[in-house]
Amino acid sequence: MMSDNHRLPIIHLDLDAFFASVEQRDNPIHQGKPLIVGGISDGGRGNLQRGVVCAASYEARKYGIYAGMPIWEAHQKCPKGVFLPARLNKYIKESRKFFQICSDYTPLIEPLGLDELFLDISGCEALFGSSEIIAKKIKERVNQELGLKVSAGIAQNKLLAKIATNLGKPDGFFTLYPEDVPKILYPLPLSSLWGIGKKTEERLKKSGIYLIGQLAQIPEPVLENLLGKNGKRLKLLAQGLDNSSVTIPTSKKSISKETTFSANITERNILIKELLKLSQEVGYYARKEGYQGRTVTLKLRFHNFTTLNKSITLENPTHIDENIFKIALKLLDKIKIKKGGVRLLGIKLSNLTCSNQLIQLNLLNNKENKWVQLTYTLDRLREKYGFTAITRATLLEQEKIED
């Protein structure tokens, strides 16, 4: 039980193997079997060479299958697995029900995706009880009302609550008390620490730092020399210290990203590559903050500081990178690049609607659905390894030049 001198107001909840669990729930014949969702257009195996894994049941994970893996590789690892197309419209409906259950206990909800969120129950204890009681009630309701299992982590901050959830999976319930941080947190590998990207992890390992406890005890000057300004922040996280609050998605007017070039650009192919990069960033942050937009604006500032803005407003809102890029490219094709070149390039997504990170699929557009599946899979990988951990092949040559 929670000691009197500790208030643990943060709950992290994560639906276990969400997409796969919905399929197993709706098709009892698949329960207990290795089930892989994503990458195919129908229930057959005619298209297994294309696409990636969107989700894998825990039975499938025993074969080393994970989200983002190519479907063909998953089939090699588990040829007798059940491969199903993603039904994102169904998952969206179930996700909304999940969020609604959670909102019955606190208005302070921060979404992390369709299947994951933070709750801050500060001030709600008098109505519903402690964080442990509330988490148990939510787990029971999700199981009874949705037929799904959700893992819960409880702690004094978001970082520790998310780690607690991972320690308890699947169908977990784990409370991480402050006095237990050294005993529980320090022996964990660096990859368990939310906020460490793959490149940072590799850099630390090259310096002989493999565990969170090692990172927590490294002198700050050493870490700053190794990681720069980010070193101090990561050391605090390794010590279990996190001051970030549970943030409710707020109403925004637009989401934009810009690049100012060190030298004016006249080559259209370079501008196109930069558009692709900016589209990925705008789309990612729109989804992360729970927005879709109907208007895409392309911004160019030429060598003489003349600024040009061109926009297209869509019938249906979007936050998918590929859609944003195609519209921006269409706008660029209508603009004549002046001889002096372009010094600034930007993309803005506006006319926003709050979607709680949920989208309405065009069920008649299978190609569109495939892009949505791929986009959400990439988001999961970026949340785990950092935004730059995965990129389009088209950008690799450009990134190599910039490095």
Quickly list DSSP for 354-384: E-TT-----TT-HHHHHHHHHHHHHHHHHHH
Please indicate whether residue 75 or residue 253 has the higher confidence score (pLDDT): 75
Q: Which whole-number Å values give the CA distances from 94 to 33, 148, 325, in the listed order? A: 22, 10, 30
Residues with Cβ within 8 Å of 371's Cβ and at least 6 positions away in sequence, in order, are 320, 322, 323
What six digits make up the tokens of 123?
């001030």
**pLDDT average, residue stretch 221-243:** 91
Q: Is the pLDDT assigned to residue 56 strictly greater than 90?
A: yes
Angle of helix 18-26 relative to helix 88-103, nearest 10 degrees, comes to 100
pLDDT at 312: 94
Residue percentage of the chain with pLDDT more than 90: 60
pLDDT at 46: 46
Query: Please, which pLDDT band fits residue 287 given cuts at 50, 70 and 90?
Result: confident
Q: Is the pLDDT assigned to residue 1 strictly greater than 50?
A: no
pLDDT in tens, 249-272: 766 788 999 998 888 999 999 999
Q: Is the pLDDT assigned to residue 341 strictly greater than 70?
A: yes
Query: 205-213 long-range CB contacts below 8 Å, 24 or more apart?
Result: 211/186, 211/187, 212/185, 212/186, 212/187, 212/188, 212/238, 213/182, 213/185, 213/186, 213/187, 213/238
pLDDT at 196: 85
Please indicate whether residue 384 or residue 45 has the higher confidence score (pLDDT): 384
Residue percentage of the chain with pLDDT more than 70: 84
Query: Please, which pLDDT band fits residue 375 given cuts at 50, 70 and 90?
Result: confident
pLDDT at 4: 44
Query: Please, which pLDDT band fits residue 21 given cuts at 50, 70 and 90?
Result: very high
Query: Please, which pLDDT band fits residue 131 given cuts at 50, 70 and 90?
Result: very high
**pLDDT average, residue stretch 39-63:** 71
DSSP state of 30: G
Q: Is the pLDDT assigned to residue 36 strictly greater than 90?
A: yes
Which range, of 60-64, 95-99, 128-132, 223-227, averages the lowest pLDDT?
A: 223-227
47-56, 257-266, 368-377: range with highest mean pLDDT: 257-266
Average pLDDT value over all residues in the chain: 86
Which CATH architecture group holds 254-355+359-402? 2-Layer Sandwich (3.30)
DSSP state of 96: H
Q: Is the pLDDT assigned to residue 390 strictly greater than 50?
A: yes
pLDDT at 184: 96
Which CATH architecture group holds 1-175? 2-Layer Sandwich (3.30)
**Topology classification of domain 186-238:** DNA polymerase; domain 1 (1.10.150)
Strand partners of residue 109:
119
**pLDDT average, residue stretch 232-260:** 88
pLDDT at 362: 41
Q: Is the pLDDT assigned to residue 191 strictly greater than 60?
A: yes
Q: Are strands 254-265 and 173-175 parallel, antiparallel or unpaired?
A: unpaired
**pLDDT average, residue stretch 122-139:** 94
pLDDT in tens, 157-178: 999 999 999 999 999 999 999 9
Question: 237: burial class by Cβ within 10 Å (0-12, 13-18, 19+)?
Answer: buried
Q: Which whole-number Å values give the CA distances from 258 to 272, 297, 298, 304, in the listed order? A: 13, 11, 10, 18
Indicate which residues carry an active-site annotation. 116
Is 0.85 surpassed by the pTM of this model? no
Per DSSP (E only), the strands in 158-306 are 173-175, 254-265, 291-302
**pLDDT average, residue stretch 305-325:** 91
What are the residue ranges spanned by the domains of the chain?
1-175, 186-238, 254-355+359-402
51 sits in the region (left: phi over 0; alpha: psi -120 to 50; else beta) called left
